Amino acid sequence: MNQVDLAVVVASLILVVAVGLWASRRQEKTARAYFLASGRMPWWIIGSAFVSTSVSSEQIVGTVGAAYASGMGVANWELWSLPVYTPLIFLFIPIYLRNKIGTVPEFLRRRFGPWCSDIYSWVMLLAYVFIFLVPVLYGGSLAMSELTHWPFHAVLWVMIVLVGLYTIKGGLASVMWTDAAQCLMLLGGGLVLFFLALRYIPGGWSAMVQAAPERFHVYQPPADPNAPFLGLVVGTAGVFLFYQATNQVMIQRVLGARSAWDGVMGIIFAGFINFLRPLVTCFLGLVVYHWIHLMHRAEPLASRDQAFPFALREFAPQWGLRGIIVAGFLAAVMSTVSALANSTATIFSLDVYRKLIEPAASDRRMVTVGRIASLVALVVAGLMAPMVARWGGIFQYFQTGVTFLAVPFASVILLGILWKRMNNAGGLFGCAGGVTIAGVVMAAYVWHRAHGGQIHWLYAAGFAQVWIVLGILIVTWRTPPPEPAQWEPFVWRREFLRELDAGAARPWYASIRLWFGLYAVAWITIYLYLW
């Protein structure tokens, strides 16, 4: 990168930090303001933050590389939103917001008792630092170091300091406002790079499809090693639902909504943004493949993970555009890191410190504890990040860890809001026994892969979930039913849907039904076109 590129990157970093500090000055000095943004977030901030939090460095580098190596199937990781967003919108959000839930552990405590809440709190605290934060920091710092030739450790700790400046000071409001800005940077830089790269291909997109039509289908057979379509279906109620609907990092964006309407419209808005994500995160790999293997304009890449840096080097002009694209890449890393640090602080402060250490803690004390927790999480993850390379690489490390966590908690919460008979004993088995079952299955999966096995991790997760759900059903039926006061507020009923449009009078074009319908039609149309 030249001096103009570096100036663009530095300016973008200054802008992000300035937005975060500005947002922190506008909020109240209370625990609710720090951890939940006082419940004042509008739909467009929620949607932007939801998207930017879910896109990070290993995803961009990994999906561009996967598209280069195997084709369009990897786009499912970006497009598979409607089957997950539908239950999030119509099942989970009404339950969370009408009960004024502040954290996922709070929901588990009120629905199933303190043991389930404690298990989730401690497991997720460790997971956010060691399974989520560590690989994101490692992957982002490594990629930025390779793109800029800056020292890895310098990139790592400068990033931690910059994220800490606004995350520790401003809490959720700062994180979400910066996420919105970073979403624009991510989409802007990624879209510009994709369309500039496409101009290098004579005939554009249609020429690439005609040259290798077998690479341009989202449907992949059940044995596909990257994105089997059957695996997506199997993982919908487990891994994917956990990440979007029962994961504190993601759902905290919705818990800060100023109304149920804003929370739902934010997710619908995120769904529309997701239609652009394949252009940013994977279709670029298709252009690189055509350029190298069909136009023979360069030697084949030694590693699929070189596809993104190759595209940046070959297709981005040297008049500041590389700086814009790198700034967008860096924005994706920082938004995820800040969200993880903030959610770690939220769970520790509200569900561990206030419960076990100082129940009568003042708002000022709670905010201080939250800031210390954010700082500790960032520092510990920074110290651990360089070790990821010894643990089998980013993708295997991250996917195996997330799968291990996902299916127990997704199963418990989903059954808890659909089945009034489910009791504390069933919830406890799902959390404690489910983590054990998932751990055994994942250990067997890792052993199987190490000895040449080809089973996809989504199938392993689905297998674990079947046993967890069966165990929950058996334990629940063999123990006494819960009291009505324990399940009635948290079991979904159809009338909850009417509350989504409640509140201020809105014109017809602000209808949730209208926009969800348009989103669903667009999603189905895209899948039919790319099938």
The residue range of the domain holding 151 is 3-21+39-389
> What does residue 81 show for φ and ψ, rounded to 5 degrees?
-110, -40
Specify if 478 maps to a domain.
no
- Rounded Cα distance between 454 and 224, Å, is 9
**Confidence at residue 273, expressed as pLDDT on a 0 to 100 scale:** 93
**Confidence at residue 207, expressed as pLDDT on a 0 to 100 scale:** 92
Secondary structure (3-state) at 173: helix
Structure tokens belonging to residue 411? 């199963």
Residue 41 bridge partners (DSSP): 257
Dump pLDDT digits (tens) for 354-376: 888 888 888 888 888 988 999 99
One-letter amino acid of 263: G
Measured at the alpha carbon of residue 111, what is the angle toward residues 106 and 112, in degrees to the nearest 5? 100
Dump pLDDT digits (tens) for 107-162: 999 999 999 999 999 988 988 888 788 878 887 787 778 777 788 888 889 888 98
CB 275 within 8 Å of CB 525:
no
Query: Using a CB cutoff of 8 Å and minimum separation of 24, what contacts does 522-528 make?
Result: 522/272, 522/275, 523/79, 523/81, 523/82, 523/271, 523/275, 524/82, 526/79, 526/275, 527/79, 527/218
> What does residue 442 show for φ and ψ, rounded to 5 degrees?
-70, -35
End-to-end CA distance of the chain: 38
Q: Where are the strands (E) in 195-270, listed by range?
A: none
Which residues, in sequence order, are CB contacts of 486 under 8 Å at separation 6+? Answer: 110, 111, 424
**Confidence at residue 3, expressed as pLDDT on a 0 to 100 scale:** 79
- Whether the pLDDT of residue 397 is over 60: the answer is no
**Confidence at residue 287, expressed as pLDDT on a 0 to 100 scale:** 94
**Confidence at residue 268, expressed as pLDDT on a 0 to 100 scale:** 96
**Confidence at residue 91, expressed as pLDDT on a 0 to 100 scale:** 92
**Confidence at residue 28, expressed as pLDDT on a 0 to 100 scale:** 59
**Confidence at residue 176, expressed as pLDDT on a 0 to 100 scale:** 84
Specify if 396 maps to a domain.
no
**Confidence at residue 490, expressed as pLDDT on a 0 to 100 scale:** 93
**Confidence at residue 464, expressed as pLDDT on a 0 to 100 scale:** 92
Cβ count within 10 A of residue 399:
17
Specify if 371 maps to a domain.
yes
**Would you place residue 466 in the very low, low, confident or very high pLDDT band (cuts 50, 70, 90)?**
very high
Specify if 514 maps to a domain.
no
SS (H, E, C) 448-462: HHHCCCCCCHHHHHH
Specify if 410 maps to a domain.
no
- Whether the pLDDT of residue 309 is over 90: the answer is no
Dump pLDDT digits (tens) for 180-223: 888 888 888 888 889 989 999 999 999 999 999 999 999 999 98
Which residues, in sequence order, are CB contacts of 332 under 8 Å at separation 6+? Answer: 52, 55, 56, 57, 59, 60, 140, 182, 186
- Rounded Cα distance between 359 and 349, Å, is 10
**Confidence at residue 356, expressed as pLDDT on a 0 to 100 scale:** 83
What is the 8-class DSSP label of residue 282? T
- Rounded Cα distance between 8 and 30, Å, is 36
For the chain, give the mean pLDDT: 86
* Share above pLDDT 70 across residues of the chain, in percent, rounded to a whole number: 94
**Confidence at residue 233, expressed as pLDDT on a 0 to 100 scale:** 92
CB 348 within 8 Å of CB 73:
no
Per mean pLDDT, which range of 236-240, 339-343, 393-397, 513-517 is the poorest?
393-397
**Would you place residue 21 in the very low, low, confident or very high pLDDT band (cuts 50, 70, 90)?**
confident
- Rounded Cα distance between 425 and 55, Å, is 36
Q: Which helix (H) or strand (E) holds 384?
A: helix 363-384
Q: Identify the CATH number of the domain in which residue 181 sits.
A: 1.20.1730.10
Specify if 444 maps to a domain.
no
Cβ count within 10 A of residue 496:
17
**Would you place residue 104 in the very low, low, confident or very high pLDDT band (cuts 50, 70, 90)?**
very high
CB 214 within 8 Å of CB 299:
no
**Confidence at residue 288, expressed as pLDDT on a 0 to 100 scale:** 93
Specify if 522 maps to a domain.
no
Specify if 520 maps to a domain.
no
Dump pLDDT digits (tens) for 41-68: 899 999 998 988 888 766 787 788 889 9
DSSP 50-88: HHHHH--HHHHHHHHHHHHHH-GGGGHHHHTTHHHHHHI
Question: What's the structural domain count of the chain?
Answer: 1
- Whether the pLDDT of residue 518 is over 90: the answer is yes
